[in-house]
Amino acid sequence: MIELCKINRLKVIRDTPQGLYLADKPFQKTDDETQDEKDICESKQKYLTNSEGKNTKDNSTLKVSAARFTGKSEDVLLPRPEVPRSVNVGDELDVFIYLDSQDRYTATLRTPHICLGGMSVLKVVQVTDIGVFLDWGLEKNLLLPFKEVVTPLYFDPLSKAARRGNNKALTINSGRAEADRAANYIGKDKSSEQNEGSVETGRAARHTGKNEGPVTNARMSAFKRNGDVMSAGLSPADMEWLGQDRELPVVLYIDKSGRPAATMRVYDRLTAGEKYSTDSAVEATVIQINPSLGVFVAVDDRYFGMININEITDIVNVGDRIFGRISGVRDDGKYMVSLTQKAHLQMDNDAQVVLRRLRDSGGRLPLGDKSDAQDIMRELGMSKKAFKRAVGQLYKEGRVVPGAYEIVCR
């Protein structure tokens, strides 16, 4: 049986000007399987026939579409431009099977970035009213429907929404420090944009690095009319974010119409890990964000992993590659991932960060034991607990004098 969106080993059965026609090895069906095939084929033909009784597709497409649902062995075309030299009738080729623009099974010698059931991080090439199109290495791009975008796309630990534990997109903060921080993330000076346009304009401009003017009533109405976008919880800022050469972690599946599509429901496809133990160094992909719990990652793009939300000190995007260590393995085999080193090693690093900031600020830093945790995070990129450990170590070494709201170099 020829399988869609998988690598198939097929035999060349004839050579034509259009290309090579390939088929799999014939197989025998039982009487029950043959009857089931007939029933499914009849149901498929009714589906492809409109209310007036006319076929909505030509006969060749109908034949292949029926085969897609019945598992019937059909020949497929390897287009002439892809035919390798010195290949003869009877030879076998390993080819990937996809659907062409007319929904016909088509073979290619190219290896796509993702196969059926697999996970990969794919680049966004187009955002439309129905979903996001991704580059999966073939001529026809892969659709990610908006309903399959099941996670916030990014998270800022210093945003107001993050502090509430309810982040769907970056929330505007008129404070100068956060505006500068967002500008540094974008790589451009966007501080002047905080006084322009509406709140939505500021959100989109700061995070995407674009200033396309206020979000007009017409644009907002267009978003509201799009049921798929609104049902997925995507805001205009999310749409702007998607348009900035982003990469998204997805799984390839076959939808109800029999066509390949992408979903961001990656977490359910991961498995418990047995490869790593505590303190092992790992690489992972951010696949999902829960602002009140943590950032879910795919360790080696295969195993369950989670980073506690309190460890996130900078803006994180779905699709980001992170490097960390296994801080623990749960009873169910899922990994807890940490972005920091062990406490005694991390404390040394944090102490050096505090010292450098003290020197840069003339020997006095307006942070202390009673300072707000968000102020410490904003200035030093570390938690208040880590800050107090670092200052305590520097105090024991006689290098600083700590206070309630400031520390001073000795």
Final residue before a domain boundary, out of 338, 362, 388? 338
**Domain limits for position 87:** 7-108
Q: Are residues 61 and 138 in the same domain?
A: no
Is 56 a residue whose pLDDT tops 80?
A: no
Q: Minimum mean pLDDT among 145-154, 163-172, 294-303: which range? A: 163-172
Q: What is the pLDDT of residue 25?
A: 66
Together in a domain, 71 and 37 = yes
Percentage above 70 pLDDT, the chain: 68
More confident position, 207 or 282: 282
In a domain, 210, yes or no: yes
**How much is the pTM?**
0.61
More confident residue, 45 or 239: 239
For residue 409, what pLDDT is reported? 80
What is the pLDDT of the chain when averaged over all its residues? 74
pLDDT of 162 > 90? The answer is no
| In a domain? residue 114 | no
Task: Among 263, 294, 310, give the residue marking a domain's end.
Answer: 263
Would you state the pLDDT for residue 347? 62
- Structurally, how many domains does the chain consist of? 5
- Whole-number pLDDT of residue 298: 94
pLDDT value at residue 18? 94
Q: What is the pLDDT of residue 228?
A: 53
Same domain (yes/no): 164, 183: yes
In a domain, 140, yes or no: yes
Is the pLDDT higher at 257 or at 207? 257
To the nearest whole percent, how much of the chain has pLDDT over 90? Answer: 35
Above 90 in pLDDT, residue 71?
Answer: no
Q: Is 54 in the same domain as 176?
A: no
pLDDT at 254: 96
The Cα–Cα gap between 287 and 249 comes to 6
Q: In this structure, are 253 and 132 located in the same domain?
A: yes
**25 belongs to a structural domain:** yes
For 334-378, the three-class secondary structure string (H helix, E strand, C coil) is CEEEECCCCHHHHHHHHHHHHHHHHHHCCCEECCCCCCCHHHHHH
Kindly indicate the confidence band of residue 273, based on its pLDDT and cuts at 50, 70 and 90. Answer: confident
- The verdict on 139 and 252 lying in the same domain is yes
Q: Are residues 138 and 171 in the same domain?
A: no
Q: Is residue 123 part of a domain?
A: yes
What SS3 string covers the chain? CCCCCCEEEEEEEEEECCEEEEECCCCCCCHHHHHHHHHHHHHHHHHCECCCCCECCCHHHHHHHHHHHHCCCCCEEEEHHHCCCCCCCCCEEEEEEEECCCCCEEEECCCCCCCCCCEEEEEEEEECCCEEEEECCCCCCEEEEHHHCCCCCEECCCCHHHHHCCCCCCCCCCCHHHHHHHHHHHCCCCHHHHHCCCHHHHHHHHHHCCCCCCCCHHHHHHHHHCHHHHHCCCCHHHHHHHCCCCEEEEEEEECCCCCEEEECCCHHHCECCCCCCCCCEEEEEEEEEECCCEEEEEECCCEEEEEEHHHCCCCEECCCEEEEEEEEECCCCCEEEECCCCHHHHHHHHHHHHHHHHHHCCCEECCCCCCCHHHHHHHHCCCHHHHHHHHHHHHHCCCEEECCCCEEEC
pLDDT, average across residues 195-207: 35
* Residue 125 pLDDT exceeds 60: yes
Residue 195 has pLDDT above 90, yes or no: no
Q: Give 52 or 258, the one with higher predicted confidence.
A: 258
How distant, in Å, are the alpha carbons of 27, 35, 36, 71, 269 from that of 30? 10, 9, 10, 14, 33
Specify the pLDDT at position 133. 95
Q: What digits encode the pLDDT tens for the residues 229-260?
A: 544 567 788 888 888 889 999 999 999 999 99
User: Where is the domain boundary, 306, 338, 370?
Assistant: 338
The answer on 238 and 158 residing in a single domain is yes
* pLDDT at residue 121 is higher than 90: yes
Residue 36 lies in a domain: yes
- Kindly state whether residues 131 and 193 are assigned to the same domain: no
Do 275 and 330 lie in one domain? The reply is yes
